[in-house]
Amino acid sequence: MKSLNFNHLRYFWAVAHEGSLTRAAERLNLSQSALSVQIHKLEHQMGHQLFDRVGKRLVLTEAGQIALDYADSVFSAGDELMSTLEGRPADKRQVLRVGALTTLSRNFQLEFLRPLIGRSDVELIVRSGTMRDLLAQLEAHAIDVVLSNSAALRDSRTPFRNHLLSDQAVSLVGRPRPDGPRFRFPEDMRTEPVLLPSLDSDIRVAFDRLMDLAGIRPIIVAEVDDMAMLRLFARESSGLTLVPPIVVRDELSSAVLTEYYRMPRLTESFYAITQQRRFPNRLLGELLARYENSDPNTSAPA
């Protein structure tokens, strides 16, 4: 069994955190060439390349990100020792890095991550962003999974894997009107103010198609690309809001909002996007396993 050279590991750790051979060499008071030799020795010992050079930047490979996680743990061992001697529990946690579209339902994110929330051995890092930015982070191994309501395009260079987690129903919801007439779809859409997702949303495209087929031009009072904001608008507006019920689940259960119409054959899909890795994250595997044998046409497991 090979034994790890911790001096080499510390040099790698410094370069990984600095993101630059030059800055790390200055910090360690070494020449760049000497530091580069030590990194190559560590890579040879581990049998894996730890960095890719992108322009002038050093970017961690998948093996490099795993090595950095372990190096962080190794070099925090002194703090853990002091914690133990002082009667405080040592912090030995696994890390899961999650990227989620800025516009994605917060309730759905919560349901996906719920099994890990509150676990003392788990640290969750959740980042929001655009699809393009998050996929770039996934490809660079900076995050482990992207949560999205659309699948990622695949090609030979970036073989992303789209895990369909759930197909959620889409409804028209609004504040209760106990004395009002019964809502009729699509007839009442001629006079009913409506709040809609933005034009780049799949469910908006499908809704617009339904309206076109019915010959109706709806009265649009707001177009919102953020589901959290759409939820707030639904609470405040006197009109109806097109939204997956999971987004306003709490409002529906507390009767702040009511479901006026469940849209036929109209759903929003939720995906976990990953890429094939030689060293998969075990925490992510636990989460995805919950969906392997479930029906995607039902709500996400609670």
Nearest-angstrom CA–CA distance, 119 and 140: 27
Q: What is the mean pLDDT of residues 5-20?
A: 86
CA angle 87–89–90, rounded 5-degree value: 120
pLDDT, the chain, mean: 86
Q: Is the same domain home to 140 and 277?
A: yes
Nearest-angstrom CA–CA distance, 240 and 118: 36
pLDDT digits (tens, 9 = 90+) for 40-93: 998 888 888 998 888 778 888 888 888 888 888 777 766 666 665 666 555 567
Indicate whether 297 pLDDT > 50. no
Reported confidence tier of residue 144, pLDDT bands at 50, 70, 90: very high
pTM for this structure?
Answer: 0.66
Q: Is the same domain home to 203 and 281?
A: no
Total domains, the chain: 3
Q: Residue 270, SS3?
A: strand
Indicate whether 259 pLDDT > 90. yes
Reported confidence tier of residue 302, pLDDT bands at 50, 70, 90: very low
Find out whether the peptide bond into 186 is cis, omega within 30 degrees of 0. yes
Nearest-angstrom CA–CA distance, 3 and 201: 53
Q: Which two tokens stand for residue 289?
A: 């396993």
Indicate whether 301 pLDDT > 60. no
AA identity, residue 133: D
297 within domain boundaries: no
Q: Is the same domain home to 127 and 276?
A: yes
Q: Is the same domain home to 249 and 172?
A: yes
